[in-house]
Amino acid sequence: MHNTAPRTQLSSPPVRPVAFSNKKLAAAFTVLFLFALSGIAADVEPGFVSLFDGKSLSGWKLLGKTGGGYLVRDGKIVCPPKGGGNLLTEKEYADFVLRFEFRLESGSNNGLAIRSPMRADDLAYQGIELQIIDNTAARYKDIMPWQKHGSLYHVFPAKTGHLKPLGEWNQQEVTVQKRRVKVVLNGHEILDADLETVTDPEILTKHPGLQRQSGHLGFLGHDEPIELRLIRIKEL
């Protein structure tokens, strides 16, 4: 004889959400933040590769300075006061998009070398130098327009007014393709230079680097502090 009493329906125990303490959440966000600062996070951008591992100057060569020209500190490349020299990539590049972040102090003065020869001096002329400088410093109040941040030194002046306040991180993108050089600073295009338009014989003689099709890239220190991070490149 079958038991006809209704069966009790068994139900699954309720799913309880996992509770995270504020301390655990803070720790998780700290890990993600440090991961981003390391430069590894740059690899998520399609086609880009990191030029800085966040731990060493592997892949770079320092010329014109010994000792503390550039240091690695807390996931950043640091040029300390009285530091500098030419810190160049061992690899050469022709056409590319370069992205990096930098932080200035009062009086900071550096430069971005593109299509540069591997040498210790005169890279503003033998290669191409894009200015990295604190436009607001009193000591630079009388500099020429082509010496201000983002300018192609001695040839093309950049637009001003888009640097963040001292101590804040700036984001910069530089696109070099054939004879064109573009600079975007914090989302604003500040330079669009066509090298083919340079016809002044004096400028061309003084700047043989304008004719270069490829070369090293890097940072040209002038004994003033600057911090750099998240340096990545996409070859075109």
Summary mean pLDDT of the chain: 87
For residue 220, list its beta bridge partners: 86
Average pLDDT over residues 24-45: 47
Two structure tokens written together for 197:
């338009």
Residue type, 34: L
**Distances from the Cα of 174 to the Cαs of 17, 25, 182, 189, 207, in angstroms?**
46, 36, 6, 10, 20
Asked if the model's pLDDT at residue 41 lies above 60, the reply is no
Distance, in Å, from the CA atom of 87 to the CA atom of 219, rounded to the nearest integer, reads 5
pLDDT for the residue 47: 96
pLDDT for the residue 22: 52
DSSP per-residue codes, 186-228: TTEEEEEEEGGG---HHHHHH-GGGG-S-BEEEEEEESS-EEE
Q: What homologous superfamily is domain 22-235 in, according to CATH? A: Exo-inulinase; domain 1 (2.60.120.560)
Q: Is the Cα torsion angle 133, 134, 140, 142 positive or negative in sign?
A: positive
Tens-place pLDDT, residues 132-176: 999 999 999 999 999 999 999 999 999 999 999 999 999 999 999
Distance, in Å, from the CA atom of 34 to the CA atom of 193, rounded to the nearest integer, reads 36
- In which residue are the tokens 């009790």 written? 8
Cα-Cα end-to-end distance for the chain: 82
Reduce the DSSP state of residue 216 to 3 states and report it: strand
**pTM of the full structure:** 0.81
At residue 4, what are phi and psi to the nearest 5 degrees?
Answer: -95, 5
Q: Give which of 110, 131, 129, 125 is closest to 65, Cα–Cα.
A: 110
Average pLDDT over residues 35-47: 57
pLDDT for the residue 68: 75
Predicted confidence band of residue 65 (pLDDT cuts 50, 70, 90): confident
At residue 44, what are phi and psi to the nearest 5 degrees?
Answer: -75, -15
Domain locations along the chain: 22-235
For residues 205 and 102, is the Cβ–Cβ distance under 8 A?
no
